Structure 1
Amino acid sequence: MPSSLHQRQQQQLLADPYPISPRSTSGYQRSISPFSRTGLLIFLSLMVVLGVLFPWMDMMESFISAGGSSLSKWRDYTLAQAVSFVAKNGTVIVCAVSQPYLPFLNNWLISISRQKHQEQVLVIAEDYATLYKVNQKWPGHAVLIPPVPDTQTAHKFGSQGFFNFTSRRPRHLLQILELGYTVMYNDVDMVWLADPFPYLQGYHDVYFTDDMAAVKPLNHSHDLPPPGKKGRTYICSCMIFLRPTSGAKLVMKKWIEELQDQPWSKIKKSNDQPAFNWALNKTAGQVDLYLLPQAAFPTGGLYFKNKTWVEETKGMHVIIHNNYITGFEKKIKRFRDFGLWLVDDYVLESPLGRI
């Protein structure tokens, strides 16, 4: 073999160590090296396309999920499903909230989270905006019970809107009792300073707090207090603990009846609390009732207005109720003045985070 031919064959082998067989020569297309200029351009182009396409696909998937199936899921979520999801040891903590009160809900949740009971909380949303907001941030912890009242504004105490909102409360609680669960109800203008469950002693039907600001002795009776000037007691309807007994159900049914007998009118601007007291008074002989200790569960008229009493009972306070004051902004200011508006500095302690 001539030396020149031998050299050409060796050069071809070095240039192409994996030559195409002669049989596939007709279909052969020149391969592109990933390290060539063309290969690098193709690689960079693919990276740009994928970098734009994949995030967009993720966003679309999230949007479709949030706007479609997940929203319809919460819309169809039943009270039985919701309570079953959140209840621990057969007990659920319930509040009822409309959109204007979401900041108060967050403040209340921070205080409950500090006592490690947040997973037992079920938010009864009184509008779809609240339902979706809570379940978006904290899936499964909100339910809506139709029909939905008009709750687009923060209703003033004594208004018809406020009555329509609060008068739904005994029906919600009765439904939970009928499902066989123990339930604690709180208004969200409350703050937990300690765990209230150790104070729910014995096995009484209904536990409640006095709404009077008059100071009681530390060893006061746990019986239903005597009626006041209007012929009924002044028990607060904003903090109630109920066991799923026939006695507790009887009180809720009587409360519903009293609300129907005393509807709101422009002359008589009623709210749900007098009806609750009449229900307690009229069923007292048939139901095991328990008044919680004042030092642990003081009314706002006592805690925020009697500095001497607060100092004397320091370390005994469990749940503080920001009542005896009306107005959204006034309540927030008072909480701030007493260091109880927790969302200012501790919002991330809430299961909802920033809302």
Structure 2
Amino acid sequence: MSSYFLHQRPLHPGLSNPFQPSSSRSQSRPTAVSSRATVLALISLVVILGVLLPWSGVHRNISLFSYPDPVLARWRHYSLVDALSFVSKNNTVIVCAVSLPYLPFLNNWLISIVRQGHHDKVLVIAEDYATLYKVNERWPGHAVLIPPVLDADTAHKFGSQGFFNFTARRPQHLLNIVELGYNVMYNDVDMIWLADPFPYMEGNHDVYFMDDVAAVKPLNHSHGLPPPGKKGRPYVCSCMIFLRPTAGAKLIMKKWIEELQAQPWSRSQKANDQPAFNWALMRNSEKADLYLLPQSAFPTGGLYFRNKTWAKETKDKHVIIHNNYIVGFDKKIKRFRDYKLWLVDDHADESPLGRL
């Protein structure tokens, strides 16, 4: 996987100055002392800047000594309004939220979308500056950063506060987009497209989503919100969502944000965004037009990868597969490879990002 040095290590002066003059020499050569004092002052300034600047505000994810050239730096001022205007097709965009360690998954996901002819409408919401610059360097205009920038080093372990902070931004991103009047499809990047999903967004419902249960449902199952499970709420996945710019969709996004605020992460309750999404759907199901996508076309990883009989019987119906029900980058990549779904090994040239 690609990696970047996001912070420059501060420069440390020596513990002592071997050129420190004796008192007698300092009295006879005041000019030399002045010069050495100036040098030491400059070194001290470099140390202070090297320590403080990389950790201040907007410079948090980029160091003093790795600041990009002006061509890349201009993307710092690229707005969501500009990005949506550039990438949208037929008033529709496909979005994902990505931090640097997920770039290989982004590339794999993109290749599968290229094969369905929808990659031109993809917008990558970069969660750090390195991702913003890398994507726009390879694929100009297809990445935008929406401040504030999170600490990318803590945002990757499932169940951590960093992961919660990362995923909890999702409903606000989606709300921003529908409030600007766009249809938006959200995907996690540990997904892969096997067919075009847009024909399944039939009708004019407000919110479309997929189930996250591994239990097999009949092919003609209801498209209504599933009933509550053992935890008192449905088990819908927040990994794949399609929204129309309607009052109902905006309401669900706002209620999702409220649920997240009411159920923050703690060491005892290691929350993530999905339960809050389910509570928002269930508590507002009468106020929005909700649509459950067919399980055969949008199966969870707990079904597709673990039930070989079902996968074989529904082989020609699969549209988007989610590589969940497994934790860890390496484990996800291995499972994709085992099922010949890790496309970046042999087909990186098909991605607009190329080989990373």
Q: State if a TM-score over 0.5 links the two structures.
A: yes
SS of the residue corresponding to residue 315 of structure 1 reads helix
SS of the residue corresponding to residue 222 of structure 1 reads coil
- Say if 1:100 and 1:153, in contact at 8 Å, map to a contact too: no
In the alignment, what sits opposite 1:32?
Answer: none
SS of the residue corresponding to residue 152 of structure 1 reads helix
In the alignment, what sits opposite 1:87?
Answer: 88
Give the whole-Å Cα distance in 1 for the aligned partners of 2:69 and 2:84.
24
In the alignment, what sits opposite 1:232?
Answer: 233
Superposition deviation, residue 154 in structure 1: 5.8
Superposition deviation, residue 196 in structure 1: 0.2
- Say if 2:155 and 2:164, in contact at 8 Å, map to a contact too: no
In the alignment, what sits opposite 1:284?
Answer: 285
In the alignment, what sits opposite 1:141?
Answer: 142
Task: Write out per-residue CA displacement over residues 48-74 of structure 1, whole angstroms, 9 at most, x where no aligned residue.
Answer: xxxxxxxxxxxxxxxxxx944322320
Task: Note the residue ranges of structure 2 that are not aligned, 5 or more in a row.
Answer: 1-66
Greater alpha carbon shift after TM alignment, 154-163 vs 93-102: 154-163
Superposition deviation, residue 153 in structure 1: 5.3
In the alignment, what sits opposite 1:248?
Answer: 249
Give the whole-Å Cα distance in 2 for the aligned partners of 1:137 and 1:177.
27
Decide which structure has the larger Cα Rg and report it: 1
TM-score normalised according to structure 2 size: 0.80
Task: Write out per-residue CA displacement over residues 92-134 of structure 1, whole angstroms, 9 at most, x where no aligned residue.
Answer: 0000000000000000000000000000000000000000000
SS of the residue corresponding to residue 209 of structure 1 reads strand
In the alignment, what sits opposite 1:318?
Answer: 319
The one-letter amino acid paired with 2:307 is N
SS of the residue corresponding to residue 78 of structure 2 reads coil
Give the whole-Å Cα distance in 1 for the aligned partners of 2:167 and 2:315.
32
Give the whole-Å Cα distance in 1 for the aligned partners of 2:210 and 2:134.
31
SS of the residue corresponding to residue 191 of structure 1 reads strand
Give the whole-Å Cα distance in 2 for the aligned partners of 1:67 and 1:171.
28
The one-letter amino acid paired with 2:208 is Y
Q: CA RMSD in A?
A: 1.0
The one-letter amino acid paired with 2:217 is K
TM-score normalised according to structure 1 size: 0.81
Task: Note the residue ranges of structure 1 that are not aligned, 5 or more in a row.
Answer: 1-65
Give the whole-Å Cα distance in 1 for the aligned partners of 2:174 and 2:231.
27
- Say if 2:155 and 2:165, in contact at 8 Å, map to a contact too: no
In the alignment, what sits opposite 2:340?
Answer: 339
Give the whole-Å Cα distance in 2 for the aligned partners of 1:70 and 1:252.
35
The one-letter amino acid paired with 2:336 is F
- Say if 1:96 and 1:124, in contact at 8 Å, map to a contact too: yes
SS of the residue corresponding to residue 316 of structure 2 reads coil
In the alignment, what sits opposite 1:40?
Answer: none
- Say if 1:235 and 1:277, in contact at 8 Å, map to a contact too: yes
The one-letter amino acid paired with 2:355 is R
In the alignment, what sits opposite 2:302?
Answer: 301
The one-letter amino acid paired with 2:188 is D
The one-letter amino acid paired with 2:257 is I
Give the whole-Å Cα distance in 1 for the aligned partners of 2:234 and 2:190.
22
Give the whole-Å Cα distance in 2 for the aligned partners of 1:68 and 1:77.
16
Task: Write out per-residue CA displacement over residues 131-182 of structure 1, whole angstroms, 9 at most, x where no aligned residue.
Answer: 0000000000000000001113562111111101000000000000110000
% identical aligned pairs: 77
Give the whole-Å Cα distance in 2 for the aligned partners of 1:102 and 1:274.
26
Superposition deviation, residue 314 in structure 1: 1.1
In the alignment, what sits opposite 2:153?
Answer: 152
In the alignment, what sits opposite 1:258?
Answer: 259
Query: How many matched pairs?
Result: 290
- Say if 1:149 and 1:165, in contact at 8 Å, map to a contact too: yes
SS of the residue corresponding to residue 92 of structure 1 reads strand
Give the whole-Å Cα distance in 1 for the aligned partners of 2:78 and 2:352.
20
The answer as to 2:71 corresponding to 1:70 is yes
The one-letter amino acid paired with 1:238 is C
Give the whole-Å Cα distance in 2 for the aligned partners of 1:260 and 1:67.
36
Give the whole-Å Cα distance in 1 for the aligned partners of 2:213 and 2:343.
26
